[in-house]
Amino acid sequence: MGQYDKALEEYGSALKVQEMLLPEDHPGTIRTLNNLAAVHAHREDLVRAKEYLVRAEETASRTFSTNHPIMSLIKTTKDLIDEKDGKHIDSQQ
């Protein structure tokens, strides 16, 4: 809905609480990392998007099989980042 600043604020707050209360490999924490990556990708902040996605993907891959739904969610965000990264590269040429 375009309210990226608000989303980052909410997800950032959620992540702080989750990191204090939940194990690192909790699905909620992984989803929040993924969501932060997606919001940053939509804002075209691809460096930050990739940082959050790497954290989500590394944690999830240690915990879940490749066919787990959370891995599909991460793949969708990875595709979004790749798409945005391609647009960014194309627009500079």
| Residues of the domain holding 51 | 4-92
What's the pLDDT at 86? Answer: 87
Total domains present in the chain: 1
What's the pLDDT at 90? Answer: 44
What's the DSSP call for residue 87? H
What's the DSSP call for residue 91? H
Alpha helices in the chain (DSSP H): 4-21, 27-42, 46-63, 69-92
Cβ atoms of 78 and 53 within 8 Å: the answer is: yes
Cβ atoms of 88 and 81 within 8 Å: the answer is: no
Low-confidence ranges of the chain (pLDDT < 70): 1, 88-93
pTM score: 0.89
What's the pLDDT at 2? Answer: 76
The rounded distance, in Å, linking the Cα atoms of 83 and 60 is 22
Q: How far, CA to CA in Å, does 45 sit from each of 37, 66, 67?
A: 9, 27, 28
